[in-house]
Structure 1
């Protein structure tokens, strides 16, 4: 019963006799037809990228906005729904990335298993998402410094953090990996400490406030209204954004078949501990009608519920420590933003879907022109110096608002199409080095939840019956449609022989899908962990406690 395999026995080497005539690329050695990648990311890097790489202002600050608009009940339920959705997405991505550890993962998977036009739309949607998030995170880092020094212009700190980020890029993927490893350890340690402290505060162990318990769930209440509930989905997606980065990093991992499954398993604990348990504690010790939550949005970290809750408890010193952690977190996400956009744009340029010069990678494995483009977008953070800066920033962030739902839904759909094509070619899941625990059923669940979140956010966007409010919330959707239709139209009208013409077909047929090019080298499987195959759901459930325990080691 392969669809319930949390672990399977060691996968046999592929039967390559029918693949030998297909041009292959040694992806495990870091060579693709477009990019001489440097495989410097070790297992420890991949695991910390998966656990803490994306924890930033989305969790620490925007959680306050979600609490205010939806209430603690909505906060917990919506983060749990998005967490389940993302867990299925990561399992599907893990299976794909282990099988095909290629540069520009999501873009290349959509190109291979779905449709070039959708790949073009998703690639640029993902790249734009990170291009505009970088100035937001740098601004957030500057505002955290104003917690201590309000007399200094934020432009000073924007320049400092942008310079630090530029220096990190000099060291290529090794610099990205080491910075994420160190900063993620700090973030994870601080979050665990805050959760323990929040439990103490809730139980009445703080100098001020006394016993709280579940008081705030009753007064002012667990929920606000249905529109407030639905609005939390977008904030949750922003908070979870970047979790998929470990899949993108597979192309620069020393051994993705060994490190990626571990990283995917770590995502479960990150979701349950940091997001679900973390938001539960926020809702317990902070009332959703607290006035300062109205200011806990965008990059205004001074009103983070993680910081203010400690202040309200009468604990001195720790608010500054927590604010410092938020500073570290947003720098970490800014670092991830640079990695995410540059690798995606480079992969698109290699396929002729971005200006060709962006495909260049230097001898150190750096997509140098893509890095310069991302740093140039970082200068948009100085817009905050203008009187209309906040409004401009609102529209910039609107470009990324719901883009994560499109990307995550695409990953799930790609996995479904991959499994169908793999079976169509007479292949079995027993040949896969890593199998998504819930198989295509998990991907169908993930895809359905992504669609549900898009519908919920559409309802939130049209409810005010205001065109400006709609586009501020839902701008990413028409942008994706425009990109998709634009490439379809261009590909059908161009005389360029390198551009694939497919008409207006929705996706590739199973006969068109190539499941063999760029396939991973099974020769490296000698040191993979042995796996157990379960014959039924009953056997899998019996072994589940031990499996979960093993996943955190």
Structure 2
């Protein structure tokens, strides 16, 4: 690990409510508002619930693993730094560039989606104008200050949370016939092949959908580097977010499955490009609420902008951290007086803009770029679980006691092992049909991010002659900057 480059440090400006809402908002989006209907259709009500509960538990283990490391060493690079520090510098290099690339591409995907959503109201208006406007807004928010980013994410996430509460209330009233005109009850849970449809393969297919729905929870690790008090805010955010995710997703699926039978073509056609067939929209309409589609369209627009905003923040901090550690040009480690890594932000912005331009002028290039970032989130989760497993083993092997850690992950080593296994299952199960038919094009499009990470890993390993760090040589000490900050705070109090 290289020394600090002296370019300045990001400022700790995120409050506890910011961290909680960023983590919560990161995993509540179109995965819940739109594609959850497809999960119910594929596996039935029972199968969807089993898949989301299992994936939710795995994400909880993942977040507690990340939380243990983040409270010990809160850095903006988060899990890329941990991979380098606790496993192998080559893995940190691969994880960092992999994650930065993923979010830079995802920002472009999200701003393209903004244009699709806006066509609901203004179908004849040039779509690229809305995308550029969204990209400009996101740049402005991120370049002001970390507090501006935190406040923006707080309020946009709050809109999503309020929408879910209203949806659940309306849904329950509809189920009991108080709204919508007639009693529905739970008969759709046993309709035809329900509650379990397509057996184990159906549940496994929903694992993939649920996994993508929960992407973004790892943002809590990146925000730890700029949280005012990560030892308190990170554990609090982890526990709050877990229970909220489980309640929101599970209750929402129960309501949707009770009101809309799994055989409905509305669920079959759920896609991020058509808000009119969002299961949330359908439930509101069946409850007799006028303008449901417009309301949900506004919420989904907020959700997409929020996702792009978080993506710009995450990728910028990852590039800044890699520059700080020597894995990227050191110029990207420079920080403004406001504590913003402006050059890292602009570099990410350029990549997002170029990717967006390919969606207009070169659809095939755009498709390959998106495909290359498809499994990045699951690869990052795998890296987090592996890093934590080695961190804890190294911590104990070197004679440390668990009481020295400010936060303890749940069920070690079961937690990270379950996370590792499920990540492998989800990554391998993305498109089993492509292997069955031996469709090389589909396989390449679906799994492209896997060989890219392997190439990054071995390229760095060969060039720099790195090795997997022996457990007794792993540096498990907290970061010096953070230790100094704790001492200053203690002396003040």
Residue 303 in structure 1 maps to residue 244 in structure 2: no
What is the SS of the residue equivalent to 1:457? coil
Residue 397 in structure 1 maps to residue 358 in structure 2: no
Q: 263, 267, 285: which is aligned to 2:241?
A: 267
Q: 449, 467, 473: which is aligned to 1:512?
A: 473
Alignment check: 8 A CA contact 1:144 1:302 kept: no
Q: 6, 13, 28: which is aligned to 1:55?
A: 28
Cα deviation for residue 459 of structure 1 reads 3.2
Alignment check: 8 A CA contact 1:214 1:284 kept: yes
Which stretch shifts more, 72-81 or 292-301? 292-301
Residue 291 in structure 1 maps to residue 252 in structure 2: no
Residue 91 in structure 1 maps to residue 64 in structure 2: yes
- Tell me: CA distance 1:411–1:79, structure 2 relative to 1, closer, same or farther (3 Å): same
Partner in structure 2 of residue 237 of structure 1: 211
Residue 377 in structure 1 maps to residue 338 in structure 2: no
TM-score (norm 1): 0.81
Cα deviation for residue 271 of structure 1 reads 2.0
Alignment check: 8 A CA contact 1:57 1:137 kept: no
**1:97-145 deviations in whole A, cap 9, x for unaligned?**
1110122011110000001111111112211221111122222222222
Partner in structure 2 of residue 349 of structure 1: 323
CA distance in 1, matches of 2:32, 2:79: 24
Cα deviation for residue 397 of structure 1 reads 2.9
Q: 98, 102, 122: which is aligned to 1:129?
A: 102
CA distance in 1, matches of 2:380, 2:434: 20
Residue 452 in structure 1 maps to residue 432 in structure 2: no
CA distance in 2, matches of 1:175, 1:421: 38
- Tell me: CA distance 1:93–1:205, structure 2 relative to 1, closer, same or farther (3 Å): same
CA distance in 2, matches of 1:61, 1:346: 34
Residue 442 in structure 1 maps to residue 403 in structure 2: no
Cα deviation for residue 198 of structure 1 reads 1.9
Structure 2 residue runs of 5 or longer lacking an equivalent are none
CA distance in 2, matches of 1:365, 1:135: 25
Q: 391, 399, 405: which is aligned to 1:426?
A: 399
Alignment check: 8 A CA contact 2:74 2:225 kept: yes
CA distance in 1, matches of 2:339, 2:490: 27
Partner in structure 1 of residue 456 of structure 2: 483
**1:507-544 deviations in whole A, cap 9, x for unaligned?**
210122112251543547879xxxxxxxxxxxxxxxxx
Alignment check: 8 A CA contact 1:358 1:370 kept: yes
> Runs ≥4 in structure 1, deviation > 6 angstroms?
524-527
CA distance in 1, matches of 2:407, 2:304: 32
CA distance in 2, matches of 1:355, 1:288: 51
CA distance in 2, matches of 1:295, 1:34: 50
CA distance in 2, matches of 1:393, 1:303: 26
**1:310-346 deviations in whole A, cap 9, x for unaligned?**
2344321333222211111111111100011111111
- Tell me: CA distance 1:32–1:286, structure 2 relative to 1, closer, same or farther (3 Å): farther
TM-score (norm 2): 0.90
What is the SS of the residue equivalent to 2:472? coil
What is the SS of the residue equivalent to 2:63? helix
What is the SS of the residue equivalent to 1:439? coil
- Tell me: CA distance 1:300–1:116, structure 2 relative to 1, closer, same or farther (3 Å): farther
Residue 335 in structure 1 maps to residue 309 in structure 2: yes
Residue 358 in structure 1 maps to residue 332 in structure 2: yes
Task: Give the structure with the larger helix fraction.
Answer: 2
Alignment check: 8 A CA contact 2:170 2:287 kept: no
Counterparts of residues 134-283 of structure 1 (less than 5 Å): 134-207=107-180, 210-211=183-184, 213-215=186-188, 217-219=190-192, 221=194, 222-224=196-198, 226-283=200-257
What is the SS of the residue equivalent to 2:208? helix
